[in-house]
Each structure stands twice: as structure tokens, then as C-alpha cells.
Structure 1
């Protein structure tokens, strides 16, 4: 395995231990909104496939994430060079760099892999640069940009309900108690003690931030439920949270919700729940590469504000979390973080441009397989049934969460996940013969 930095200042990883120089394909893992993790060069389903097909494994970190710092800081002016389109251009440059460095030929066909945002990039790379990448595996990929992603919490509700119908019911009861308490000073004091907040719940923005934080517990548990993560094997699952909400011996539904809060604080080693909106904004306004925001928070918020939206509001009535977080809460964050020059028209234009550029649900690429998990809320923005055209395929994996197909196999995997990996293997074999 080799770690290098290419001429465009992007970190990249290479593993050539299985590579057949004459006829072996090149498997490209696309980096996303975080640091490229070297463990992918030794783990995951693509690693197994690389052994079978004698592939060269390469991974490119996304510009502005991880250690790939193309500018001196993350000022709003510099972040203008951060976009999916520019990320795809980096992939094209990198592809040509590897092709030249390894003296590759047309016999060495390229197949891209990616999950979540990189899953979108994988499909879009095949669409925009079909002469450079032969085929693509796109896992848990949102394919339509939109401001108000109301269906996210609808899927969260459905996934919780599938495990236990009483679970979302108790969440709803707890949220009703919270919404009642938060209206008074004494009620807020009660909530501050129950949920161990670091600061008082003062402003309306603190209230919205508090709701966002405690709803995120169930969002995270559902999205990453039992997904065999490589970087963090969290024990927090739908089972654990719903069993906690169902456990009447703990107390009333509000007390049980606070117990869920305790589970997360302990899991992440936090003494208190930081609900301060001002602290969050100040952290995300930092432009230094040495700041905590540089881990990916500021950059990804910028991309959502400029390109994608994806705001997981509570505007739908079909979930248990109450009408507590409107999409405008997230849109206003954009202005608070990136300054007065930002307005919602930029987001509307960016979403329109994104869907125009890549096609949205009218995707026209070929030799692409789209995989989505039944439990994963992001499947609501992906292809899960009829493929977008006759040159693509969809695989909907029952009982799995976000990007589950990309991770190493396990004896605990449901049969649907095992079959999905078998089908990807078959497709790669077909693609390499085309």
C-alpha cells in the first residue's frame, strides 16, 4: 500500500498486491466528506473482488477533506473551489495520472466504487467521463438534490416501527412532553437536567438545535444500524434505542428518552449535551485547517448550502418527532456561517444546476448498479425499484442500512445482503467482458 499526494494536492492510496498489469482492472474508491481511511485498502467487499479479478486498488480523497488542502484556508471565497463537479474533474485527472504512472492500456478497465455522497459521485463519474471509467458501483447514493428532504424522517419512523410498533409511539409521547416543557422557564430547567445540556436552553435557536440533537440519536441509529462499520463498530442500534424506549421500568417516555441521551453521551465520551446554537455557528465559521470544523463539518455544510440541500426537516406529519425543525432552520445556518452575501436563492439555483447537470431521477449513464438498504433513510432519494434506464440495475437490500454492501461480509449478514454482493460480483464479471 502506498500513500501519496498527487499534483492537485489530493491524498491518494494505492494497493497493487493483486494487480495483473496485463489485463487486470483498476478499482477506484471515491473519497467523500471526510478523510480517506487506509483501512479500505485492506478491507471491504471491493477488496475481496480485487483478489478475484486481479485489480489495482486506488482511492482518491475528495478535495478540501481529510488532508487534501488545495487552499491556505477554508474561507468562503476559497470554498468556491469545492463542488461535486470539481471533485469529478479531480477524479478524471487522477485517473489519467494512474494510467500513465502504471503504463496502463485499454485492457485495464476502470470501475468506480462509492457509498453515500461518493456513491453519487461514482454514478456521476460514469455519466460525465464514460471514456475514463468503464462501469460504476453506486451504494446508498442520493440522486436528486432538493431543499426539504422530508422523507428522511418518514423512513426513520418506518424503520423503527418495523422493529417495534410501540417504539415510535413512545418517542411521540416523549416529544409531546418535551414540547410542553420547553414553553416555560421551569420546564426548560427540567429538560436541561434530564438531558444534561452544557448550557441553558435560552434562545429559539437553542431550542431548535436541542431538537436537532436529540432527534439525531434515532437518525444515526437507523442510518447506520448494524452496518459493520470499519472505522467505528458502534453498539448503538435500533434494537438498543427502541428497547430503551419500550422499557417501562425506567420511567415515563420522557425519562426513557433521556436514557437514550445518556447512551449517546457515554458512547462518545461527552459529559454534557452541547445544544448552544451560537457555539455551533462559531465553530463552523472557523476557516483554519487546524480547527475542529476542518474535519468536514464546514465543508459539507457549504456543499449542502450551495449544491444539494438535503435538509432533514420535521415538516412531514408521518414521524414521531413533532413539527420542531423547519427546513428554514438549516437554510438560515448557511447565512449565519457563510455571511450576509449568502441567500436562499443560491441554494435554489445550486439545486437546479445539480439536477440539470446530472439528471436527477432521469439519470442517463450506463453500466451502473445502484444499491440501497431498506432501513437506510437515504434510499428515499435513490433508485430502489425500476432502474433509471435499461443500461443500469438496482438492488434493494432488505433489512440493511447505509452502504452495508461495501463493508466486509459477516456471519450475521441477512441473506439479502449476501445475494446483493453476489450480484455485484456477477455484474463486474459481465462488465469486464464488454
Structure 2
């Protein structure tokens, strides 16, 4: 095991490969906005910070291709599975320099699944350990392992409270493992080389990530002489999928798994396409019927204004966009993402959906539809001097990595019909999606591989026969809960959900202001884990005595 001291993460928005293989619409928007920003800067004294990767002239040959291939971002880019709101490059990562954490790097195998010579190439995979609460190997004290998702590890160290909040209760060792191709866990020596093309990206998969975690955990237990210490894996969002799949694939390594907000059923046709946006719609409608109606009618009003002479200029002024709008879709996609984010992360005590609707409903009497929608945007974004419709589109480490993952195996078919949500129709078309991904990477996605590899169809019939010790925890205000496991599968594969919960809320740091239903949800989870460990220690004692 290679040991190194804790290091500060470099800026995650500054190093991207200079080849034309990434989400094309985002790049086109980035380049056009960068040029406009430079022009605007020369005419104003107001400084504007643009959180975006370094621009290289080597991107320019792609622009004609970009112009011809850009289609609705809503259609092709599903809402991302982020554990924490705002970790797509718009927020600085949390520092890992706390004295509570020790950072290590494991020499990880590039390819776990074949024996070609190049498969044995290694890269440094980062993991972080907190020894403060551990009862030690002699007492077989448990190990809580957080399985990293589609972001650098730094965000998780303080943003994920479940492990540090509860490790003292269990005398547990805390371990966070970073997902390959994110943060400092980059194969091929550099991010540029690792993300260069499909040949180097081909080792970037969930199965490889699970095998990575298995190697790190096994090696760590051996180094600590903690072979009898039980492991509980914890994950959230995409990481929650990984946690549940890890328990199924590696039951000899993990005693149990907590999968928070894990939409493992949002593949193939298991979950209706409109599941996600149906819940966004329900969230807004439950808060305010008038707010819901305003949003529902706003899309056609935006198109109506845009179709008029100087209509885009009018919309740009009315919504105080930082740059002139190129199309009405820019504005609509921006608002779409705002509403989806508000619903997905509708956490107490702020409750973003209520904030948006408070702005819409609180607009002065006589305000037209667009004025009310803008008031909702201003309330959500706290009255900025201007609003950037592409703030969610600038390439970041997470968006670039996640685009490959969703264009290879994580094909989540989110779409909308004509009148089934408060949003305009945007159905998911697999054929269009396949062509889009082929243009990006020269390889098609495998849309059915997740269910082939991990299952999902008839999940209760299948898992009740052999699976055990998995908690699926959800909040029903989370749009991704539509693809989650919401019913108990067996006595030990259980579903815990709250009507008012949101995305990954249950594993965020506990607060004295947490509502009672959230406190109870966490209490039930801990009692279940207590039961797993109690049974394990009884079995361990019997095995030692036999």
C-alpha cells in the first residue's frame, strides 16, 4: 500500500482533454459564452467569475460539428444523480486537510476482468480513513465504508454526515473510497490521457469500480489485521446503487449495505419514463396549485414571445440573462433544471420548492406569467444582478465523467409525455440517444447491460430468494425515488421511506433542527444495522468456539 500525506485537491474545473469527444452542446455553449464574456468584460467594469475549464484553440475545429449536433439538453441529458446539491463545479470542494482524516493511495489494477498484459497496469486510487472512533481489530470493531460516486472524494468528507455522526455509537472505523476517474483516482497518469477516447474510457465502469472497492477494503483489512471486522458499505444516489450492487456481488466482503436514494429500477422499462418529472410536478402542485399552473403555462408563453420580432431580446431583458439568449430552449432548459433541482434537493429547513413558489405567488398583483416565473427564479437564486442560463452546462469533472457513464451503461430513460407533467413534452428516444452517444465517443451505449449485470426486473421475486442485509432508504419528494425500491423485499432487504424526504437527505449531517420524521428514519436505519452486527458477532463467536 502506498502511503502519502493528506493533500489539497486542485481546482476541479481546470483540466480537460483537448479532443472533441465530450458533450458537444455544453462545449458549444461554453465557447460562445466565453467569447461573449470577454466582449462584455471589455465594456463593463463589473467582474464576472466564470467557473469553467481552460479553453484551448484545439476545440475550435469542433464548432461546426457542435452546431449541427446540438439538440435539446433536456432530451439527452437526464438530471444528474448528485448526492449534494451544487457539486458539479459551481462550488469549491471541501478540504480534506482535517486532522480527523488520513489520506492513502492504493495501487489499483486497471482492468479486473481479463488477463491481457495491459490489464495489470496500475493507478493510484485515493481513500481516506478516520481512525478516531474505531474500537480496533482485537475487538472486531466494524468498518463503515462510503463508496464514492461521480465526484471527487473531497465533497463527501464533511457533506456526508451519516458515518461520522454514528461511528462513535458503533466504535467504527470510517473509510471513504474515491471512484475511479474522479478526483485524484485517475488512470493513465493524467485526466487528459484518461478521458482521451473510448479506448482509455473503456475501463470506466460500475463493475470496475465495485472491484476497486473490493480490493481496497480487502487490502485495508489485511493491513490492519482486521479480517474479522464486519464491513457496512454506505452509498448515496449513484453511490447508493453501487452499495446495493456491492452487497449482491461481494457478500463475503460486506456484511450489509445502506443505499440512500438509489434509483436502481430506473433502467429499461421498469420505471415509467415520466416518473422523475411526475414527482417534480407533484412536489410543486402540493406546495401551490397556482404556482404549478403558472409554470405549466409559462412554456408556451416563452415560445410565443420568442417567436416575435426581437422576442429573444425581450426574454433576455425580462429574465436579466447575463448574455443574450440564442434560443428560447436555453431559457426553458434553465428553468427546467431549476425546478428539478429545487424538487430533488427540497431539504429542510429552506425547502427550495416553497422558495420558488413563494416568489411566483408573491409577485405583485397583475404581474404576468413571465414576470411571476422570473420572480420565482429570483427567489431561488437570491436576486442576482444577472442570471446565466448555462450555469448548469459548463463542463466540469463530474459532468464530463457522468456523460461517459450514461453513454456507456448508465442509460436512465427519463422522458415526458404531452400532458403528464407541468413540463413540455420531451420523450426519451433510445435510437436518438444511441446516435448522440456514438457521435461523442464512436461507440454505442449498452442500454440493457445494467439489468443484465445486476438485475432489476421482478426484483422482489429474485432478491427474496438469496439477497440479505440491504436497506433502501428514500424520500418520496425526491424525483429519483420513482426508480427506487419502496417496498420490503424480505425481512432483511428492506425499504424505508418518508413522505417529506428528499434526495440523500437521510445521510447528510444530523442537525438539531431536523424534523421528527427524519430523526425517526435514521433511527430505524441504525436499529437495523445494530441487528446485523449483533447477529454477526454471535455467528463469529460460534465459529471461533467450534
Superposed pair shares fold, TM > 0.5: yes
1:215-254 aligned within 5 A: 215-226=336-347, 237-249=352-364, 251-254=367-370
- Counterpart for residue 287 of structure 1: none
Deviation at 1:120, TM superposition (A): 0.5
Q: Is 1:381 the equivalent of 2:483?
A: yes
The one of 423, 426, 432 aligned to 2:524: 423
Offset at 1:37? 2.6
1:242-289 CA-to-partner distances (Å, cap 9, x unmatched) read: 11111240722211212333345558x784424499xx5xx65xxxxx
C-alpha change, 1:271 and 1:88, in structure 2 (3 Å) is: same
Structure 1 stretches lacking a partner, 5+ long: 229-234, 285-292
- Larger Rg, first or second structure (1 or 2): 2
1:194 alignment partner in structure 2: 318
Does the Cα contact within 8 Å between 2:273 and 2:416 map onto a contact in 1?
A: no
Paired residue for 2:507? 406
Tell me the equivalent position of 1:80.
Answer: 202
Which of 125, 131, 134 does residue 252 from structure 2 map onto? 131
- 2:159–2:508 CA contact under 8 A, matched in 1: no
- Which ranges of structure 2 fall in alignment gaps of 5 or more residues? 1-100, 109-123, 536-546
Greater RCO between the two (CA within 8 Å, min separation 6)?
Answer: 1
Rounded Cα–Cα distance in structure 1 between residues aligned with 2:324 and 2:471: 48
Whether the aligned pair in 2 keeps the contact of 1:16 and 1:56 (CA below 8 Å) is: yes
TM-score (norm 2): 0.68
Any runs of at least 4 consecutive aligned residues in structure 1 with deviations exceeding 6 A, and if so which? Answer: none
1:154 — aligned with what? 278
SS at structure 2 position matched to 1:360:
coil
Distance 1:311 1:179 in 2: 26
* Count of equivalent residues: 402
Does structure 2 conserve the Cα–Cα contact (< 8 Å) formed by 1:397 and 1:416? yes
SS in 1 for 2:128: strand
SS of 1:310's partner is: coil
Match of 2:470 in 1: 368
Give the superposition deviation at 1:173.
2.2
Q: Secondary structure at the match of 1:57?
A: strand
SS at match of 2:472: strand
Whether the 8 Å contact between 2:125 and 2:184 is mirrored in structure 1 is yes
For 1:358 and 1:123, the matched residues in 2 are separated by 10
CA–CA distance in structure 1, aligned partners of residues 201 and 239 of structure 2: 19
Superposed CA RMSD in Å reads 2.7
Match in the other structure for 1:101:
223
Q: In 2, distance between residues paired with 1:311 and 1:201?
A: 29
Q: Residue 184 of structure 2 corresponds to which residue in structure 1? A: 67
Q: SS at 1:99's partner residue?
A: helix
- Shift of the 270–141 alpha-carbon distance from structure 1 to 2, 3 Å rule, reads farther
CA drift of 1:327 comes to 2.9
In structure 2, the CA distance between the partners of 1:185 and 1:24, relative to structure 1 (3 Å rule), is: farther
User: Do structure 1's residue 36 and structure 2's residue 160 form an aligned pair?
Assistant: no
The 8 Å contact of residues 199 and 276 in structure 1, kept in 2 or not, is answered as no
Q: Is the 8 A contact 2:348 2:514 kept in 1?
A: no
The alignment's TM-score, normalised by the length of structure 1, stands at: 0.85
Which residue in the other structure is 2:263 paired with? 142
Determine the C-alpha separation between the residues in 2 that align with 1:262 and 1:184. Answer: 25
- Answering whether residue 300 of structure 2 is matched by residue 176 of structure 1, we say yes
